[in-house]
Structure 1
Amino acid sequence: MEKWDEHLTSEQRKAASHKGSHARLLAGPGTGKTLTMTRRILWLTTTQGVSPSQILALTFTRAAASELRRNLRYNLEGTGIDLPRVSTLHSFALRQILRNASLTKLPQPLRIADDYEERQIIIEELSDLIGENVRKTQNLLNELSSDWQKLTADTPDWERRFPNPQFLGAWEEHREVYGYTLRAELVYQLKRALEEQGESLDLEGPPKYVLIDEYQDLNPCDLSVIRSLADLNSEIYSAGDDDQSIYSFRFANPDGIRRFTDDYTPSADLKLEICQRCPKEILNYGLFVARQDPRRIDKPIEPKDKAEQGEVHVLRFPNQIKEAEGVAILCHWLIKSQNILPEEILILLRTDRNNQFSDPIREALTKKSIPVGAVSNPLEPLNHEQAREMLCLMRLTVQRADNLAWRTILSLGNSGIGKKAFSELYELSRKNGIIFSETLQQVKESPNLLSEMGIEFLKR
């Protein structure tokens, strides 16, 4: 275990031990933001006597939550102090909704549809219900998600002004039949519960100290949840950098961190200004790019003493094939001439629609006998038929009335069940006001509820 202030710079020590108000920690790249947040939690628990149950640390990604949790576990080992709660905002929202299930209007028991179910069941069936193609339905679902994130869904007559009101009706009906909640709405549902229930909501903790990492990437709905926590007497400690707001696709709002000291009063304005990681030229180039935004917070950032000079080169290519060849040549030079190991080289792609960028790069590297591996979705194996079937069986073991699991498992393999039969089962559920699994039970007991075609599938 290290002491909370061990190996900290003076600015990190000041930021970690702030006391008495909300605070904004502006921390540029490589300045030690995660370290400072970790040490702040140690300072609260080891010197201020704050119970870990009163601390909530929110991160933007699961990977960041795992890293912060690992750092805290290492530093708290042997102290007898429990690990504070560290989670993403979505995970926190899910836990609070589960604790307050009776106060929400969501289908019960709470069941979050995963990516496979959203694409293969929800979007497919909604497309049939509203007579649109899959792409159009996906766009409408994205529109619904964006309205939650931007809080457009809170505006008067929102439903009437939605691009396709028929879609909204079909979705609400469909979610009742299958009893699911979309992951995209979790934070919005917590936001509504906080506004409607206030202090009567049974919040875990409740948290007295809330630390938020990457505050610049919160969208309006996320920011509203944090505001509600502050109104319930949580002290907010926001950490981030408006120069590093990269999640505009989910409506990240860097103005949230820019106006923090105006929105939360009183609040301290803390800064980390010494970059521990970047050579001078790389840092300067990053600042050149950041300064193109006229609304950014002007903040000093300097490389540490004895930092290397560094190099930045901008290479331009006429197309992705030439770019791939150039990347391969550069990697080959680094490996053969500079003694860099292949696993020490990282190639980042901003977008990769239909693999039109990654495939040429992979092929170009292979031609030069450079080993290459791609980082893929760790949940990808669950999208294969056998793994999906096993997952459904596990879910049904826990919850016999898991409608999405029943719907999925009946569609796998050579079941012979097509859209017609599923449509009949859906209509029976809708007309009778019951969930999908209950309809399956009724049909099992009374097969004549289905048409001749439906009965044939039941026999199979």
Structure 2
Amino acid sequence: MPITNAQIQAAEAIQDAAAHDPSLQVRLVAGPGTGKSRTIEERVRWLLAQHVPAAAIAVVSFTRASSNELRSRIRAYCDTNNQAGANYVRVSTLHSLALSLLSAAGLLQYPAPPLVLDDWELENVFDAEFGHLQDIGKRRREAIRREHEAFWNTGLWDPSNYIPPNPPITDAERASFTAFHGPRTQTYSCVLPGEIVRQCLQHIQAGTLDPVALSHLQHLIVDEYQDLNPIDLQFVDEMIARGVTTFVAGDDDQSIYSFRHGSPAGIQLFTEKYPSAGSRTLSECFRCTP
């Protein structure tokens, strides 16, 4: 049987109730096809309708592709609902948000505004040059970089979900990576994905960067929360500690980026960490009628 209009309206009522939750922290648990993106779109529209300045709203998703898609959807949704201001809402990755904060604080020492390397650039430019200069094969040079990324993402050199290569990375290999990383990222004005959030977090915790004063952020919406790693989660916690109203959304039963130390524990334990948080669930899947 086809999905009925009554079913759609009932599901959208639940989505809207989640989007309009006034709690200072809100957790939305939503599996595939249950309307998570629409709920985020409605959240943005509702905030704008409540006269929250567009520049005070930040929406982050895990990858460039997902953040680009979400930006387009938010703008189209607000246009359809005659809500102005969506074009001025920041929709980006968490890496990009951290990078902009470091830049605003004058803490980026690069010859030009740096860009975050994507997977292709990591493999075919950064790793390739590192391997060529050090005479290291493809698999080994990737393993050396990934060990550093594990540390940047978790704060630990040997996190529980990290599988070290055989043989283990040596002190000499770590030193060679560090010696290459600093000058090369300066030359290309680039940063690696894992390092930038950690740098920003360190400055926030040290008191040398005030993210709210710099960005005037009032509302943070985090998509795909189950894919955040421990350092990403600490970054969000710092925003919450500074009074930013935070809406997190994701699937508590999967994390496709576990290889980058993402874990559904972040969304699973969110209401334990923040007991007063609103907790909402979308359970009706519309990807197939059965």
Give ranges in structure 2 of 5+ residues lacking alignment.
Answer: 1-7, 160-167
Q: Does 1:138 align with 2:142?
A: yes
Q: Percent identity?
A: 31
Report the equivalent of 1:243: 253
State how far apart, in whole Å, the 2-side matches of 1:152 and 1:203 are. 30
The match for 1:452 is: none
Which deviations, in whole Å up to 9, do the C-alpha atoms of 1:64-117 show, x marking residues without a partner? 2222222222233364425211111122222222222x335x555454456566
1:426 maps to which residue? none
- Which of 178, 183, 206 aligns to 1:177? It is 183
Residue-pair matches, total: 266
How many Å separate the matches in 1 of 2:146 and 2:227? 19
State the distance in 2 between where 1:27 and 1:125 align: 42
Residue from 26, 40, 45 that aligns with 2:43? 40
1:89 corresponds to 2:94: yes
In 1, Cα distance between equivalents of 2:229 and 2:120 = 25
Matched, 1:165 2:171: yes
Check 1:107–1:73 CA distance in 2 against 1; reply closer, same or farther (3 A cut). closer
Change (3 A) 1:143 1:14: same
> 1:71 and 2:73 equivalent?
yes
> Any residues of structure 2 matched to 1:270-349 within 5 Å, and which?
270-280=280-290
Give the aligned residue type for 1:75: Y
Note the C-alpha offset of 1:130: 5.2
Deviation at 1:14, TM superposition (A): 1.1
CA contact (8 A) 2:101 2:215 kept: no
The one-character-per-residue Cα deviations of 1:212-271 (angstroms, maximum 9, x if unpaired) are: 111111111111111111112111111111123222111111110010001124211111
Residues 1:167 and 1:103: Cα distance change in structure 2 (over 3 Å): same
Matches for 1:92-241 after TM superposition, within 5 Å: 92-100=97-105, 102-103=106-107, 107-112=110-115, 118-119=122-123, 122-124=126-128, 126-127=130-131, 132-152=136-156, 163-178=169-184, 179=186, 180-197=190-207, 200-201=210-211, 205-241=215-251
SS of equivalent to 1:275: coil
- The within-5 A match list for 1:247-258 is 247-258=257-268
Distance 1:80 1:92 in 2: 23
Specify whether residues 130 and 217 from structure 1 end up closer, same or farther in structure 2 by C-alpha distance, changes over 3 A only.
Answer: same
In structure 2, what is the Cα distance between the partners aligned to 1:164 and 1:80?
55
Q: Secondary structure at the match of 2:259?
A: helix
Residues 212 and 239, structure 2, Cα contact 8 Å, conserved in 1: no
Residue 97 of structure 2 aligns to which amino acid in structure 1? Answer: F
Aligned to 2:59: 57
In structure 1, what is the Cα distance between the partners aligned to 2:266 and 2:216? Answer: 24
CA distance in 2, matches of 1:63, 1:124: 24
Query: TM (normalized to structure 1)?
Result: 0.52
Q: Judging changes above 3 Å, is the alpha-carbon distance between structure 1 residues 189 and 262 closer, same or farther for their aligned structure 2 residues? A: same
The code of the aligned residue for 2:191 comes to T
Q: In structure 2, what is the Cα distance between the partners aligned to 1:249 and 1:165?
A: 23
Higher relative contact order (CA 8 A, sep 6+): 2
Q: Deviations over 1:153-201 (max 9, x none)?
A: 599xxxxxx9322233223332343315323312222222222236645
What corresponds to 1:322 in structure 2?
Answer: none
RMSD between superposed Cα atoms in Å: 2.8
Q: Which amino acid aligns with 1:60?
A: F
Q: CA–CA distance in 1 between the matches of 2:172 and 2:289?
A: 55
Counterpart secondary structure, 1:243: coil
Structure 2 residue matching 1:238: 3-state secondary structure? strand
- Structure 1, unaligned runs of 5 or more: 1-5, 156-161, 281-460
Equivalent residue number for residue 18 of structure 1: 21
- Is residue 193–residue 201 contact of structure 1 (8 Å, CA) maintained in 2? no
Indicate conservation of the 8 Å contact 1:16/1:36, yes or no. yes
**TM-score (normalizing by structure 2):** 0.80
**Whole-Å Cα distance in 2 between the matches of residues 115 and 269 of structure 1?**
35
Is the CA contact 2:145–2:177 (under 8 Å) kept in the aligned structure 1?
A: no
In structure 2, give the amino acid aligned to 1:19: P
Note if contact 2:27-2:270 (Cα within 8 Å) is conserved in structure 1: yes
User: Which residue pairs with 2:163 in the alignment?
Assistant: none
